[in-house]
């Protein structure tokens, strides 16, 4: 079932699917590569990724509980993008590139977004009382 852009999976526990958000991320990332290819600098490509692709990947996930497996899949999406951008299969090199460009993994970004969401929700619910 799809509700407000989130696909809810039938299960005993509340689960969601991140497949559609991953597809949207890949579509946007491939569009960026298709338009600018290897002409632009890595900084420019990563800035486009931050502003156009990451919001598609993390859309509305701060409001949903995610399993560790889901977070690992979201992190893999980012790692795979770096593998493609820097043309390497060495995960150590990918980690170095991510730290050099100050790029957070999806799970870290999602944790920050969830904390902001919780704070806003608490303020809003306190104002109702």
**Residue-wise pLDDT tens digits, 34-77:** 888 778 888 899 999 989 998 888 887 777 777 888 889 889 99
Structurally, how many domains does the chain consist of?
1
pLDDT at 70: 84
| Domain with 114 in it | 2-128
Give the mean pLDDT of 73-88.
90
**Residue-wise pLDDT tens digits, 10-34:** 777 767 777 888 899 999 999 998 8
Distances (CA, A) of 105 to 21, 77, 79, 129: 15, 9, 8, 37
């Amino acid at each position: 079932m799809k509700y407000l852009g989130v696909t809810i999976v039938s299960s005993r526990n509340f689960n969601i699917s991140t497949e559609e958000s991953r597809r949207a991320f890949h579509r946007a990332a491939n569009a960026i590569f298709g338009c600018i290819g290897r002409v632009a600098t890595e900084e420019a490509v990563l800035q486009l990724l931050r502003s156009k692709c990451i919001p598609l990947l993390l859309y509305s996930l701060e409001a949903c509980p995610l399993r560790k497996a889901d977070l690992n899949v979201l992190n893999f999406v980012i790692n795979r993008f770096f593998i493609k951008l820097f043309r390497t299969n060495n995960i150590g090199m990918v980690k170095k590139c991510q730290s050099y460009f100050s790029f957070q993994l999806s799970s870290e970004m999602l944790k920050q977004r969830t904390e902001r969401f919780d704070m806003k929700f608490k303020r809003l619910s306190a104002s109702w009382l």
